[in-house]
Chains A and B, each alone.
Chain A
Amino acid sequence: MVNSNAIGIIFPNSYDGLIPELVRHRTMASVPFGSRYRMIDFSLSGMVNAGINNVTVIVKKNYHSLMDHLGNGREWDLARKKGGLNIVPPFAQSNSKVYHGRVEALNSILGYLSKQKEKYVVISDCNVVHDIDFADLLEKHKASGADVTMVYERAEIPEPIKTDNYTFTINAEGRITDIFMNDYRLGMQNLSMNVIVMDREELIEMVRDAMVRNYVYLERDILGRSLGILDVRGYEYKGYRSRIYSMKSYFDENMRLLDRENRDALFPDARPVYTKVRDEAPVRYAMDSKATNCLVADGCLIEGTIENCVLFRGVKVAKGAVVKNCVLMQGTTVEANAKLEYIVTDKDVTITANKTLLGNESFPVYVEKGTEV
């Protein structure tokens, strides 16, 4: 692997507010996704696969589950003497208040940033699962000579994020000429993927200037106001992506992985997605169990019927139970003869025997972590 000459910065708490139920005990980054992953695994693995071996995660709140998930970064090959994984909690800094806005967050690590040797910085949120080829992104950024490159996709703005998004106006040369905040237009837009590449030293300067002027947001207050001076370019991502902005989108995006072509697109052999290893045994399908169109992680025990489901690690479905169109997170137990349709269970939920729980395709019902129904 060629040295990427870049460091990564990940913001795990961005857009937490869109899925309040799922982040009650965690961050957006540690929301379970796709049978055995957490949201952060995708950007983190993507960076590692591109040779970015020095990654900082700036956490804000509710980060116990994330710390537990990341550990020392070994599973992502980030347990290093040089670089590696660097988790920055808010109170690690002298100005001990929780940051608000990315400028303050970055300001809290300026000392660290200025000590690094890499020339570039790749900044990413965790609310979109994707397979961005960071190596290609860095290559294009270098080749274009731009100051900043921002990743976007051509997409309609989903209703729930019409009050929380960035879109770009891009001219024929690929330069971003305008950044809109909370765009509510109909139709296809250049919707931000919340992944930005720029020069490390330039970023430090920007943050210093912004602090002096009391700016809060990187996109709106710094980049948006500097488009005349800086060369800011767009990089269109055309690959597979899952944007999480509501319980419904969470459910739908998990379900989309039941299609082989979507799995092949998100998990290409060339760029594996790493996650925490839990040493679960393979899944056991008992006699007379029935499984159709399901994505199942290790450690599950299936004695009943499962249809169109995404099961995370260690889910148990007892005899006579029928589970259809559900997303069951790690450690969910469905006891005998229970019936579930369109349900999302959080971790360690138990549905006791003979219960029936029904949601609807347009409104999947969520069961909170640890609940016994």
Chain B
Amino acid sequence: MKECIAMLLAGGQGSRLYALTKKLAKPAVPFGGKYRIIDFPLSNCVNSGIDTVGILTQYQPLLLNEYIGNGQPWDLDRLYGGVHVLPPYQKATGSDWYKGTANAIYQNINFIERYDPEYVVILSGDHIYKMDYSQMLQFHKDRNADCTIAVLNVSLEEASRFGIMTADADGTITKFEEKPKHPESTLASMGIYIFTWSKLREYLIRDEEDKTSSNDFGKNIIPNMLADKQKLVAWPFEGYWKDVGTIDSLWEANMDLLDPNVPLDVWDPSWKIFSRTSGHPGHHIGKLAHVDNSMVTEGCEVEGTVQNSVLFAGAVVAKGATVESSIIMPGAVVEEGAEVYYSIIAENVVVKKGAVVGAKPEDVEDKSKWGVAVVGEGVTIGEGAKVGPKAMLEKDVKAGENLW
């Protein structure tokens, strides 16, 4: 028996990441030099003492399955418990894709029951944050709650983008609104829930019986529990948290790692973020290189100029090349004299000699035309080609072609 297990929702396509999630699920998107997004919730689990995690996959699961493997990098290879990848499967009564977040958990009730847990933590695989779930669980137990929702205090302007809780002084939630036009409160749901399992089980079964339900935690389960006067409490979280579901937020979250005030500290030895590593030798900064305010990972070869950027394992920045305010994912090559500004360059992209990708905001007159440029996995940008800001490339660009 396990006191508490975690279920991690990792089936989302992440359609707003476009070219970056064409071949992989959003939780597998590389982040912060040597991680993938899913490393954050997984490491949080292990660091919080949760050793049983079910990962619900659906969209493009190949890379994610391979990456998780037996869970050893996260210390989740256990005799009893550990990490399990749970795709939808065929049952005697038929088979179904996961229809919604709640349905995904519903379809895995048998998995959860194997561990006979008292509590279940529901997590999403697309948030970057460090959180001690054991503190949240303590709060849940202290309040004798049926459901505890982690909440973040956001500004009033931002509030209408989130699910907003209204809670009384001791944290009991009295009202929940999904993306309200006129928010009553600024406590935003972080999509992290702890349920008393017996209670959640009951609501999952009831929700499944309701044919009109969209089988979603935010839209159905939480409102139903509230309507039934179950005890729902808000657990206030303070610290860094970012939903990296869009190109801009993914870019910003990477840039946050470079902030001298370190809002997101991945260097803290007491809360390590674990990942499956590449096994490259140390990175090399060349004789003519210039590296400023950047993160560089093992296996990189830097001969050019790198400013305010994050270089992933094995990225190459050749002589005379410039990389500024950009994210260069594993194995990408920026050749001699090429320039990359405010861009996300995906895995194994080659930016050939003299090509230019993206632009600095100050170099674009019409600000509405400026944005982060994205080059999808494995794309080659031909010699001397030009790719403007806000680009979203999934196909090779010919030498000399001008896409600005």
- A: which residues have CB within 8 A of B? 34-37, 74, 257-258, 260, 263, 267, 272-275, 277, 279, 281-289, 291-299, 301, 310-312
Contact indicator A286/B260 (Cβ below 8 Å): yes
> What distance in Å separates the Cβ of A359 from its nearest Cβ neighbour in chain B?
22
- B: which residues have CB within 8 A of A? 32-34, 72-73, 258, 260, 266-267, 272-275, 277, 279-287, 289, 291-298, 301, 310-311
Contact indicator B266/A281 (Cβ below 8 Å): yes
Contact indicator B292/A282 (Cβ below 8 Å): no
Contact indicator B293/A285 (Cβ below 8 Å): yes
Contact indicator A285/B272 (Cβ below 8 Å): no
Contact indicator A283/B283 (Cβ below 8 Å): yes
What residues of chain A lie closer than 8 Å to B266, measured between beta carbons?
281-282
What residues of chain A lie closer than 8 Å to B292, measured between beta carbons?
285, 287-289
Question: In the complex, what distance in Å separates the CA atom of A242 from the CA atom of B280?
Answer: 19
- Can you list 29 A-B contacts with CB-CB less than 8 angstroms, sorted by A residue number? A34-B281, A74-B72, A257-B281, A263-B281, A263-B284, A273-B281, A277-B277, A279-B273, A279-B274, A281-B32, A281-B34, A281-B266, A282-B33, A282-B296, A282-B310, A285-B293, A286-B293, A287-B293, A291-B289, A293-B284, A293-B285, A294-B284, A295-B281, A295-B282, A295-B283, A296-B296, A297-B298, A298-B282, A312-B282
Nearest-CB residue, chain B, relative to A281: B266
Contact indicator B298/A291 (Cβ below 8 Å): no
Counted as pairs of residues, one from A and one from B, with CB atoms less than 8 Å apart, the total is: 101
Contact indicator A279/B272 (Cβ below 8 Å): yes
Nearest-CB residue, chain A, relative to B285: A291
What residues of chain B lie closer than 8 Å to A37, measured between beta carbons?
281
> What distance in Å separates the Cβ of B77 from its nearest Cβ neighbour in chain A?
10
Question: In the complex, what distance in Å separates the CA atom of A287 from the CA atom of B311?
Answer: 16
Question: In the complex, what distance in Å separates the CA atom of A272 from the CA atom of B283?
Answer: 15
What residues of chain A lie closer than 8 Å to B267, measured between beta carbons?
281, 284, 299, 301
Contact indicator B277/A296 (Cβ below 8 Å): no
| Main SS class of interface, A | loop
Question: In the complex, what distance in Å separates the CA atom of A92 from the CA atom of B28?
Answer: 46
Nearest-CB residue, chain B, relative to A303: B260
Residue among A35, A272, A283 making CB contact with B297, cutoff 8 Å: A283
Question: In the complex, what distance in Å separates the CA atom of A240 from the CA atom of B258?
Answer: 37
> What distance in Å separates the Cβ of B299 from its nearest Cβ neighbour in chain A?
9
Nearest-CB residue, chain A, relative to B272: A279
Contact indicator A298/B281 (Cβ below 8 Å): no
Contact indicator B296/A35 (Cβ below 8 Å): no
> What distance in Å separates the Cβ of B74 from its nearest Cβ neighbour in chain A?
10
Contact indicator B275/A279 (Cβ below 8 Å): yes
What residues of chain A lie closer than 8 Å to B298, measured between beta carbons?
36, 282, 297-298
> What distance in Å separates the Cβ of A48 from its nearest Cβ neighbour in chain B?
12
Contact indicator B295/A285 (Cβ below 8 Å): yes
